[in-house]
Homo-oligomer: A and B are copies of this chain.
Amino acid sequence: MRELKIGVIGTGRIGAEHIRRIQRHLSGAGVAAVASSSPKRAEKAAELYGIPEVMTAEKLIRDPGIDAVLIAAPGSVHEQYLLACLECEKPVFCEKPLADTGESSRIILEAEADAGRRLIQLGFMRRFDRHHRELRELVCSGSMGHPLMVHAVHRNPRAGEDFDDRMEIMDAAIHEIDVVPWLLGGDPLAACRVLHGRTASCAEGKLYDPQLMILETVSGVLIDLEVFTHCDYGYDISCEVVCEQGTVSLPASVSNIVRQGSYRRVREYDFWKERYQAAFDMELQHFIDGARAGALEGPTAWDGYMAAAAGEACLLAQKSGKRQEICYMEQPALYQDAEGFGR
């Protein structure tokens, strides 16, 4: 089968990571062109990773030599580029979020529906993490009874200077907002509360940190989620699903065990790159394989819409301090039969 020629839009941290991944680690694809709001950065990436062409995003999407597109640009331009891809009927991998507003999301969903087949895979990499997948499988097997509660923690050692209350939800918590309903076998979020108490000194003035989110699903599962983006010690994701006859939890960080100086210790993950490296590889290989086969699977634009809608409700709850219900548009037929990877 012919190698998939991918055009990458965006050369920031995650964009560069994806380019390196495609060029050095994955099978069946190559980056054929790169676009960036910073042409300098695009040139640099092209040189570093042997990418033959640098062009504008608009041109890249329409270039007949480009088979598929990867969007790692800011959320504000997603609508524009996704619509262009859909118009050209090119498979596109789009980093979260699907779009910046609910209105944008809706327009994208409609355009994909018009295209008549799935062309968008959304970058929720956790669904490709082995432990998340096994957890989902066990919970959905029913062997421990119905799920009743979820305890989740999302900790980053530190966050950029511009990190604010909005990003605490839309950049950090958004992963749990997507993945927990999926872990529960497709049990959408129905309501949310966002609480905060004492804030860590190093975050004061910027945002409330940590924050405690209380989510409820349609079937009545209660979820508590600590989001703490200045926890100092490491990148730490934990999740325990409590069922009627047992619980299942993601493993903590894995490393060699050192006994020294009165302690037995293991290293925490430093950053999300280390924790989810294999999941990122698998996610993108999955996109490549799907695009080559002409049958995209993996997280859909609809998944992106659901997460965005819940995230927006959380933002309201964050401001009001009150319980906020979450409403969704009706699910387009295109996604109702969506089957495939992790569904």
In the complex, how many angstroms separate the beta carbon of A31 from the nearest chain B beta carbon?
A: 11
Nearest CB of B to A194, in Å: 11
Say if the beta carbon of A242 comes within 8 Å of chain B: yes
| In the assembled complex, A38 has its CB within 8 A of some CB on chain B | no
List residues of chain B with CB within 8 A of the CB of A253. 264
Cβ of A266: which chain B residues have Cβ within 8 Å of it? Answer: 251, 263-265
Give chain A's interface secondary structure class: mixed
Q: Which residues of B contact A231 (CB under 8 A)?
A: 242, 246-247
Q: Is the CB of B244 within 8 A of A200?
A: yes
- Mark out the residues of chain A between 10 and 33 whose CB falls within 8 Å of any chain B CB in the assembled complex: 22-28
Flag if A249 contacts B256 (CB, 8 Å): yes
Residues facing B in A248-281 (CB within 8 A) are 248-268, 270, 278
Answer whether residue A202 sits at the interface, using C-beta atoms and an 8 A cutoff: yes
CB under 8 Å from chain B, chain A span 220-241: 220-222, 224, 226, 228, 231-234, 236
Whether, in the assembled complex, A50 has its beta carbon less than 8 Å from a beta carbon of chain B, the answer is yes
Q: Would you call B195 and A214 a contact (CB within 8 A)?
A: yes
Given A148-B200, A197-B216, A198-B219, is A263 in contact with B259 using a C-beta cutoff of 8 Å? no
A62 in the interface, Cβ–Cβ < 8 Å? no
Q: Does A63 contact B (CB under 8 A)?
A: no
Q: How far is the CA of A220 from the CA of B199 in the complex (A)?
A: 9
Residue A146 CB within 8 A of the other chain: yes
0 or 1 for each of A124-139: is its CB under 8 Å from B? (1 = yes): 0000000100110010
Q: Which residue of the partner chain B has the closest CB to A50?
A: B1
Nearest CB to that of A216 among chain B residues? Answer: B197
Q: In the bound complex, do residue B268 and residue A252 qualify as a contact, i.e. CB atoms below 8 Å apart?
A: no
Give the complex CA separation of A293 and B289 in angstroms. Answer: 27
Known: A148-B197, A210-B148. A267 touches B258 (CB 8 A): no
Q: Does A180 contact B (CB under 8 A)?
A: no
For residue A323, give the distance in angstroms from its CB to the closest CB of chain B.
9
Would you call A145 an interface residue if the criterion is a C-beta within 8 Å of the partner chain's C-beta atoms?
A: yes
Closest Cβ–Cβ distance, residue A37 to chain B (whole Å): 27
A258 CA / B134 CA spacing, docked (Å)? 11
Contact of A23 among B23, B27, B247 (CB under 8 A): B27
- Some 21 contacts from A to B, beta carbons below 8 A apart, are A1-B50, A138-B256, A146-B200, A149-B210, A149-B212, A149-B226, A195-B214, A200-B244, A224-B224, A228-B242, A231-B242, A231-B246, A231-B247, A233-B260, A233-B261, A249-B259, A252-B264, A254-B254, A259-B268, A262-B267, A263-B268
